[in-house]
Amino acid sequence: MLAKVLLSLFLWLRFAAGQDTPEPGAQPPISSAEGDLLFLLDSSASVSHYEFSKVKEFMWDLLHPFTFGPRDVQTSIIHISTTPTMEFPFDQHLSSGTVRKAIRDTRQLMGDTNTGKALSFAKEKLFSGEAGARPDVPKVLVWVTDGFSTDDISEPMQLLKDMGVTVFIVSTGRGNFLELSAAASQPSDKHLHFVDVDDLPIITKELRDGILGVIRAKRLHATDVTSSSFRLVWPRLLSQDSGYYSLEYGPRADPARRSTQQLSGALSSLLLSHLTPETTYEVALTPESNVHYFPTQTTSVTTLPEEISPVQVLISDSGPHSFHVSWAPVLDSVTSYQVLYGPLPGNSVKVLQVDGRHNSTVVEHLAPNTTYLVTVTAIYRSGKEKSLSAKACTQEGAQRSAERPALGQQGQGVCAACVQPPAWPEALPQRAQAASYRGPRIQAQRAGQTAVS
């Protein structure tokens, strides 16, 4: 017992001292990577001191094989708190020892979990020379979160990804899967990890390999690959005034469908959309300049199998005259959703039109203590449709119940939603057009939801 205590004390002291003693089975040094790696660290009061210290250990375990320097990897930390704070600029710590000491000396700030603010702050710093960031290297954001945020993250996160930043998310709490899946780079199963804070070492190698796949790519490469789109990212070789890029791409099996675009020399990334699922595309990017010669860069990208939506319908926030409907996933290939609803039994049906970018709406003007059949239909750009149905119950009284059951449980005012074929008890009458609702892109799950999958 004493030997175990002494061994634990030795390991803790070794980390605290910032020594570079090799660890058993340590990763060999990585010297072929170049990129700016930013950690978005939850430093708010929602994280315990123990969890904060475990995340710091995880950060160093993730980083220690990398070589740091102006032509290698640079790293920084931004705290999520009431006001976002940068712990140190990218170019301050350019050796393994100083990076380790900087992580060790990082202190928790407490405060609110204003993640959206921190993301907007990160967007400025990732492309700021004053913060030590470099203009012509891959950018990676690693967000470590307990799954809670007091402000919106969808818009600032999308802006980061639009600027070519690859986003990895590690959730150590009960994070909203829909929200975090949308926030991470695609495919989300490669960029999103759910793990208990004590089990962070389990994902270290997989996450490091994912980061390495981005910052080793110093040529044209693809990120955010989906069934109908991918983002091309390349080194900044030209400027607005020094030339332009000629882009050619198309399906490998059908050269006649190749497309050509002329792009501004100021660009270093581009989203290609409306692509065919499970198709390999050949891409060629040629920098055109009268100042320097640059060879054509090529890559091939295979889109993912076609996703289907909706595969899950959630009924929540039931009241006497309304309830909330949300669904997942949200796909680029869907132009709009139709939400049909009517009482059971009966043949009265109404429809809500929802923009394809959103995944929720509120159904209102309902009768109390009534069971409704709700059908969500996705309208694809191809003209195809996919439907999924659920049952929902309105409450009896004018007051909404303060006690809501846990996800998937029955209780007052919440009816157990069940998968139904997209059909109604009697033939559909003329569809009545109801109000259009443009809700938030991602709606956080709360206790009291009933899930259908």
- Map out the domains of the chain as residue ranges: 10-215, 221-302, 312-452
- HEC per residue, 388-426: EEEEEECCCCCCCCCCCCCCCCCECCECCCCCECCCCCC
Residue 271 token pair? 């989203």
Question: Residue 60: pLDDT above 60?
Answer: yes
What residue has token string 């409704």? 372
Q: Are 82 and 114 in contact (CB under 8 A)?
A: yes
pLDDT, tens digit, 9 for 90 and up, residues 191-214: 999 999 999 999 999 999 999 888
Q: Are 131 and 86 in contact (CB under 8 A)?
A: yes
Give the architecture (CATH level 2) of 10-215: 3-Layer(aba) Sandwich (3.40)
Pairing of strands 360-363, 323-328: antiparallel
Q: Choose between 203 and 236: higher pLDDT.
A: 203
DSSP run (H or E) holding 35: strand 35-42
What's the pLDDT at 217?
A: 61
What's the pLDDT at 53?
A: 94
Q: Which fold has domain 221-302?
A: Immunoglobulin-like (2.60.40)
What per-residue string of b and e applies to 23-40 under the rule 16 or more CB within 10 Å gives b? Answer: eeeeeeebeebbbbbbbb
Number of other CB atoms surrounding residue 374 within 10 Å? 23
Pairing of strands 35-42, 269-272: unpaired
Q: What are phi and psi of 318, to 5 degrees?
A: -75, 130
Q: Are 267 and 245 in contact (CB under 8 A)?
A: yes
Q: Residue 125 has what DSSP assignment?
A: H
Confidence band of 425 (pLDDT split at 50, 70, 90): very low
CATH code for the structural domain at 312-452: 2.60.40.10
Largest CA distance in the chain: 79
Q: Which residues contact 320 (CB under 8 A, 6 or more apart)?
A: 366, 368, 369, 394, 395, 396, 397, 398, 400
Q: Does the model's pTM come out above 0.75?
A: no
- 33, 73, 78, 83, 197 from 211: Cα distances, Å: 10, 11, 18, 27, 20
Question: What number is the average pLDDT over the span 341-359?
Answer: 91
What's the pLDDT at 27?
A: 64
What's the pLDDT at 34?
A: 86
Domains 221-302 and 312-452 share a fold: yes
The DSSP string of 196-220 is: -GGGTHHHHHHHHHHHHHHHT--SS
What's the pLDDT at 272?
A: 95
**Most confident by average pLDDT, 15-19, 68-72, 227-231, 278-282:** 278-282
What residue has token string 């159904």? 363
Angle, alpha carbons 197-200-206 (nearest 5°): 150
Confidence band of 159 (pLDDT split at 50, 70, 90): very high
Q: What is the mean pLDDT of the chain?
A: 81
The β-bridge partners of 420 are: 389
Confidence band of 293 (pLDDT split at 50, 70, 90): confident
Angle, alpha carbons 350-356-362 (nearest 5°): 45
Number of other CB atoms surrounding residue 269 within 10 Å? 17
Q: Choose between 268 and 450: higher pLDDT.
A: 268
Beta strand segments in 136-175, E: 139-145, 166-171
Angle at which helices 154-162 and 115-126 pack, to 10 degrees?
20
Question: Residue 246: pLDDT above 80?
Answer: yes
Give percent above pLDDT 90 in the chain. Answer: 50
pLDDT, tens digit, 9 for 90 and up, residues 19-46: 343 343 456 778 678 899 999 999 999 8
Confidence band of 117 (pLDDT split at 50, 70, 90): very high
Question: Residue 353: pLDDT above 80?
Answer: yes
What's the pLDDT at 242?
A: 87
Q: Are 406 and 276 in contact (CB under 8 A)?
A: no
What residue has token string 């929720």? 360
Question: What number is the average pLDDT over the span 287-294?
Answer: 85
